[in-house]
Amino acid sequence: MQEINDGNMNFAFVVTNKQGSNQSVFVKQAPPYIKVMGEQWPLTRQRMTAEINALNYQSSVCPEMLPEVYYQSEALSVVIMQNLSQHAILRTELIQARYLPRLAEDLSTFLAETLFYSSSFALSSLNKKAMISKSNNQDMCKITEDFVFTYPFEHHEMNDYNPALSQTVIDSIQKNPNVRAHVAQMKYMFMNKPEALLHGDLHTGSVMVNGLETFVIDPEFSFVGPMGFDIGALIANLYINYFSHAHKRSVEAANYCQWLLQTIDDLWYKFEAKFLSLWAEHELSIQSPFMGKDLTGGTHQTFRQAFLQQVLSDSLGFAACKMIRRILGVAKVADFMQFKKDQKLRAKLETQTLNMAIEILVNRHAYTSIADVNKLAEDLVAV
Ligand SMILES: Nc1ncnc2c1ncn2[C@@H]1O[C@H](COP(=O)(O)OP(=O)(O)OP(=O)(O)O)[C@@H](O)[C@H]1O
Ligand SMILES: [Mg+2]
């Protein structure tokens, strides 16, 4: 048995049968506290109930991207699943500038399928309400409310700043009434928009890959919330990775940055196309639980387009909050921390990211295409 130590919250082990087949499994157990902090930081084991619930739901709609679950017990707060040790964490691969040709295709499928099939476009009103009450994950939601939407936007003792980051830049967020009002809108949406069963923490550390396969892991923050929260989490972390490469002068880095931007573009457009196609198929194959027959013609189409535009602007708003919290909040990302011996360089990349976040937060409704968001990222690097 080998303990895996790159997670913070829970115990994780790979257990191998050394006598016989050499088969192995991955075991994860939630103690009633945060593992790395110890027993003086209590946290209920509700997170494992939420993780089990989400793993069951996600593998029912998108089995090819979920580790197979062999055993689960809410009472023991434990889950035993397929060992993915031959796969790498996506964030690590992106930091090493690895090309992953399947990434946008696979992640857009995961997003479209998990978000569509738990939405009111696929579930009856009754089943949707049942899903909401079954997926209550209040303790983890509170952590997100505090650490993503609150502390980074005020001068809070839980924050952690790069000492080289200018106070003017920090103030342009924490002391900017307009930014704070928009963050309040995003926090309110997070708390009050039960659109779909979310993964809840879909950053690039929650995805494991090899060249051929993509797996999504660790849905312990899962709850029924706004679709843009999962999409925004991925987009935020891909742009963070973009800024971590874009300052390099080499042709290789420039090519990699183009691949990253293309991946973000593909991720959104493939998601949109797949979500719309599931929606159209669903309305044709059964009586839609959401809208009746399109008697006037084109009504459904108009509604669908407006809906997806709203998901895009929500995604940008949430992406912004996620980008900011990784810089001003306590939880850092290796994409930037790899430069901690050169805090000035790190501050430069963080400032580019923060400036991008402010723009896509405040003007999120004005963006109708990812191409414009990509252009913004490129312009910020060129300054
Ligand atoms: N099915 C799996 N097979 C092999 N390794 C895995 C598997 N799932 C996760 N891991 C590895 O174990 C680590 C911890 O897993 P996970 O992220 O689920 O735990 P966690 O305690 O919730 O972590 P965190 O504090 O990051 O939320 C992952 O970063 C990954 O390296
Ligand atoms: Mg986790």
Query: End-to-end CA distance of the chain, in Å?
Result: 51
Residue (of 210, 206, 235) closest to 322 by Cα position: 235
DSSP 2-40: EE--S-SSSEEEEEE-TTTT--EEEEEE--SB-TTT-TT
Domains and CATH numbers, the chain: 1-83 (3.30.200.20), 87-382 (3.90.1200.10)
pLDDT the model gives residue 287 = 63
pLDDT the model gives residue 6 = 87
Residue (of 151, 164, 177) closest to 329 by Cα position: 151
Q: How many Å apart are CA 189 and CA 193, to the nearest integer?
A: 5
Question: Residues with Cβ < 8 Å from 255, sequence gap 6 or more?
Answer: none
Contact by Cβ (8 Å): 335, 94? yes
pLDDT the model gives residue 288 = 61
pLDDT the model gives residue 89 = 98
- pLDDT tens-digit profile, the chain (383 residues): 999 988 899 999 999 998 878 899 999 999 999 999 999 999 999 999 999 999 999 999 999 999 999 999 999 999 999 999 999 999 999 999 999 999 999 999 999 999 999 999 999 999 999 999 999 999 999 999 999 999 999 999 999 999 999 999 999 999 999 999 999 999 999 999 999 999 999 999 999 999 899 999 999 999 999 999 999 999 999 999 999 999 999 999 999 999 999 999 999 999 999 999 999 888 777 666 687 777 677 778 899 999 999 999 999 999 999 999 999 999 999 999 999 999 999 999 999 999 999 999 999 999 999 999 999 999 999 98
Q: How many CB atoms lie within 10 A of CB 7?
A: 15
Joined together, the tokens standing for residue 160 give 């952690």
Contact by Cβ (8 Å): 238, 260? yes
For residue 116, the CA-to-ligand 2 centroid distance in Å is: 24
Joined together, the tokens standing for residue 198 give 């979310």
Nearest ligand 1 atom to alpha carbon 89:
31
Pocket perturbation via mutation, ligand 1, pick of 4, 49, 206 by most ligand atoms within 8 A of CB: 4
Nearest ligand 1 atom to alpha carbon 85:
4
DSSP at 372: H
